[in-house]
Structure formats: structure tokens, C-alpha cells
Amino acid sequence: MDTVDTLIAAAHVVPVEPRGVLNDHAVAVNGGRIVAVLPTAQALQRYDAREMVRLDRHVLIPGLVNLHCHAAMTLMRGIADDVALMPWLQQHIWPAEAKHVSDEFVHDGSLLAMAEMLRGGVTCVNDMYFFPEATARAALRAGIRAMLGVIAIEFPSAYAADAAGYLQKGLATRDAYQGETLLDFALAPHSPYTVGDEMLKRIAVLAEELDLPIHCHVHETLAEIEQGLAQHGVRPFERLRRMGVVGPRLIAVHCVHMDGIELDTMAREGVGVAHCPSSNLKLASGIAPVAEMRERGIRVGVGTDGAASNNRLDVLTEMRMAALLAKVSSGDAGVVSAAEGLEMATLQGARALGIDDRIGSIAAGKSADLAAVELSSVETLPCFDPVSHLAYAAGREHVTHVWVEGRARLLDRALQGLDEEDLRDKARWWAKRLST
């Protein structure tokens, strides 16, 4: 018999690729990687496991991918609700950030966010915020996989004085964390309306030189498009294209207001989309044309955005919302099936990040980033199709186990390596600061 670190035997395994459900199957994990996916009876004969985990009432899935987040903004959850995007930013969020954002703020807020995400089955987050070094420390402490944005924005903050300063500090952080297998980096120009032409051109060149993704808000609101037309004479997406930003490296966030020509360009250029349905609804930004995107073969993953505008970092909810909104906006109940929704929350997000060779599906050779969802509670019975339940019935409260690189981060709903009372204390302390 071959010895492995862990053997996880589940009632159902959903590998995502290929689609389908494997009943009474096991996943063998060694050295942080998946070595085999096979029927449990065969696994017990083939492998001598140092640890055996039985999930007789569960479905085992790839860890969820949160394709767009501002993790540290969790400390501003509920600080300004029921307000449209620009007043929300200008009158509430930006003033609070100017007063409070620091290395400590970002670390504590990110750590709180990562605990929340792990409890909801998220094993990878694509983040964009100030002080990415603090987010990196929080991610390593939590044991979650993170793509960290090297943010660029034209206005000054406690982090940097101008876009060049942001870029310089962010790239230094990237250099400092080279070799950390849980951390990747992306260039992150905040948006067309906060970054100038020269910086956008520089980012496009750097992305090619350093082989990095580009993470950017695009066409979140109609007002953004009107502003872009007034200032530059073209829509923001077209301006990004002219600056060289549009291409397979681009993860375009929101993309609520895209016309047919722009969608054709996105498909032709291989752009990935981070769809954030709850945030778009809460800010009244609109409904992204996901059905039209998918018809064109555009890679669409799901993101939560920050907890200040959502207010949950809950990818299972975003998956359900994405499927339902695509149906109602297209008039086609068959658009974004349960299996396709799960794919958006896992493999498509990994593809947009360019790391689908490592995560996003349960396959031999990939990292053991896994989540288990219990389907035996009253609200998930009876269960005719586990994939249907993942999309339409189960919630993050049903997530019981999470592994990242084969290491347990959540066991029987208990976080591993994080002190929940300490997290609560940090949240309460910052709440008092932000209230003054």
C-alpha cells in the first residue's frame, strides 16, 4: 500500500471538471497535492493514510474562488448602507479610509475577512487594497490562498503619495514574498476614472514584462461611463483598450454596462470577468449581462466585492445570485445551470487568475484546496442532486471542512490556527475607532 498524508472519503465528490457527481469516492492527498480521486473502496485498499477523514453526509468540492474583494473593508461593514456608489465612496468610504487606513487596519480587517471566507468554503481570494504587505501577512496567518493587487490610484493616502509610489511599494512587497506558494500578485489599477493614461500604459507594459494579471474595476455604473465620455471622448473600456490594458491578463470587475461591441472585444481578447452580483444590486449599479458574456465564451467568475458594499463575503450566495440574475435578465431559465454556477465559483475564477493549473477542480496533481458541505440538515433534505443543492439550497452555514494545500483550515466548523475571540476583539476595537 502507498502511504499518503490524508484520505478524504465523501458521500459525493464533485470535481467540477469533468462535470458530474462521483458517489462514494475518496480524494487522496500527499504533500499538499491531490494524488488520486477514486472510489472509496479502492482507496482503502490502495492507500495507508496517516489521517482518515470520513464525510458520510457531505459533498466535497474544490475550494471556492472569490474573484474580487477588498478584504480589509470588512472593518467598514454596514458603515454606509442604502447609498449609490459615488456618494457611498465620496461621502462615506473615502473619508473613513483617509482617517483610519493603516498597516494595522488592513492586517486586522483582512484577517477578519479571511476567517469569514474560510468558514464559507473560500480557499482563494483576489484582493485589491492599500498596504498589500499587511494583507499578505494576514493571508499567511490564516492559511488562505491570495492573489494580492499591486494597487495604483492617482490620489494620495497613508500608503503612498501618487500612483508611481503605489506601484513601487506594491512591487517591493511582491519581491519580498517571492516563493510563498499561497501568494500570487496582480497589477491593480483601481479603475479608469482614478488612474491616468501614462500609468495605465506603464501597467500594460509591466504586466507583460513580469507576467502578471491586471485587476481593474470596469463599467460598474452608467455615471462612470458618462464621466469617461466627457473627459476622454470614449467609453472607459475603449480607453483601457487604447492604453494596452485589454487582453487575456485583464480581470475586469463588475462589467455591468457593456455593449455588444465591447463584449465581442472582450471575447476576442480573452478578458476575464469578476461578476459581483450582490454588490451591484445593493449599490443599484445594475445587472451584468452574464448570459451574453457566456454565450461569447468569456470567462466569468464570481466575487463578493468588499463587505462594506455587500455586506457578506459569501461566494455560495454570489453563485446562487449569479445564476438567478442571469435567468431573469435573459428570460431563459436554462441559462447558468447549477453546474455552470459552481464552475463560475471555482474553475472559472481560477482560469481568470491564470492559476487553474493549480486550483479550481479536484484532479490529480492539483493543490488540495477543498471544501466540504454537509447536506443532511433539514433544509437540505431530500437531496436528489448535490450540485443543485450547492447552487440553490445550501449556504455557507453548511460548510464544515476546508483544506488549503492539504492543511486543514476548518474542521467541524471550527477555524484552525485562528483565535475567533481575538478576531472579535479586533473587530470591536476598530468599531469604536470608526465610530468616533
Q: Give pLDDT tens digits along the chain (436 positions).
A: 899 999 999 999 999 999 999 999 999 999 999 999 999 999 999 999 999 999 999 999 999 999 999 999 999 999 999 988 888 889 999 899 999 999 999 999 999 999 999 999 999 999 999 999 999 999 999 999 999 999 999 999 999 999 999 999 999 999 999 999 999 999 999 999 999 999 999 999 999 999 999 999 999 999 999 999 999 999 999 999 999 999 999 999 999 999 999 999 999 999 999 999 999 999 999 999 999 999 999 999 999 999 999 999 999 999 999 999 999 999 999 999 999 999 999 999 999 999 999 999 999 999 999 999 999 999 999 999 999 999 999 999 999 999 999 999 999 999 999 999 999 999 999 999 999 8
Cell numbers standing for residue 338: 447549477
Is 326 in the same domain as 390?
no
Is 281 in the same domain as 341?
yes
How far is it, in rounded angstroms, from Cα 392 to Cα 263? 28
Structural contact between residues 280 and 287, judged by C-beta atoms closer than 8 angstroms: yes
| Sheet of 299-302, strands arranged across | 64-69, 122-127, 145-152, 183-189, 214-218, 250-254, 272-275, 299-302
CATH assignment at residue 36: 2.30.40.10
304 part of a folded domain = yes
Is 247 in the same domain as 335?
yes
Is 173 in the same domain as 198?
yes
- Report the interhelical angle of 132-142 vs 103-119 (nearest 10°): 40
267 part of a folded domain = yes
For 9, 64, 124, 382, the CA distances from 43, given in Å and listed in that order, are 9, 25, 28, 28
pTM, two decimals, is 0.98
Is 142 in the same domain as 163?
yes
CATH assignment at residue 285: 3.20.20.140
Task: Please name the residues in contact with 389: beta carbons below 8 A apart, sequence gap of 6 or more.
Answer: 59, 375, 380, 383
Is 274 in the same domain as 388?
no
Structural contact between residues 124 and 146, judged by C-beta atoms closer than 8 angstroms: yes
Is 349 in the same domain as 376?
no
* Amino acid, single-letter form, for residue 421: E
For 75, 105, 374, the CA distances from 134, given in Å and listed in that order, are 14, 9, 34
Is 33 in the same domain as 166?
no
Is 124 in the same domain as 19?
no
Is 110 in the same domain as 91?
yes
107 part of a folded domain = yes
Is 396 in the same domain as 247?
no
113 part of a folded domain = yes
Identify the domain containing residue 21 by its residue range.
2-62+367-405
| Number of compact structural domains in the chain | 2
Q: What is the structure's pLDDT at 79? A: 92
Is 146 in the same domain as 45?
no
